[in-house]
Amino acid sequence: MSNVTATTQNQKVLNFLRSGQSLSAGQARGLFGVTSLGKRISELRASGQPIYTNTAKNGTTVYRLGTPSRAMIAAAYRAAGSSVFE
């Protein structure tokens, strides 16, 4: 997959999550043609997006966008120092 395709898929996934909805791998495949949602989520997290993993009532893994807690911010600061917030 080209880097442009991954970037486009990442943006589509992020826009969907920003709408307040949860996203499963099946939805991502059907809506955006994303065959590796886990990889897209990892890339978005690496760029600083607070994406959380939940398990739906039917056992399906879903992702949602959240607000980082103070504990998460403190852990990032301890792990990477102040440069992580620049």
pLDDT digits (tens, 9 = 90+) for 19-74: 999 999 999 999 999 999 999 999 999 888 989 999 988 999 999 999 877 887 78
Report yes or no: 50 and 3 within 8 Å, Cβ to Cβ: no
d(CA 49, CA 37): 15
Q: Which residue type does 81 have?
A: G
Report yes or no: 82 and 74 within 8 Å, Cβ to Cβ: no
Report yes or no: 66 and 50 within 8 Å, Cβ to Cβ: yes
pLDDT at 76 over 80: no
Question: What is the structure's pLDDT at 79?
Answer: 82
Question: What is the structure's pLDDT at 75?
Answer: 79
What CATH topology corresponds to 3-85?
A: Arc Repressor Mutant, subunit A (1.10.10)
pTM: 0.75
**DSSP designation for 50:** -
**For residue range 6-17, what is the model confidence (pLDDT) as tens digits?**
789 999 999 999
- The torsion of the CA quartet 51, 63, 54, 18, rounded to 10 degrees, works out to 70
| Alpha-helical segments (H) within 24-69 | 25-32, 37-46
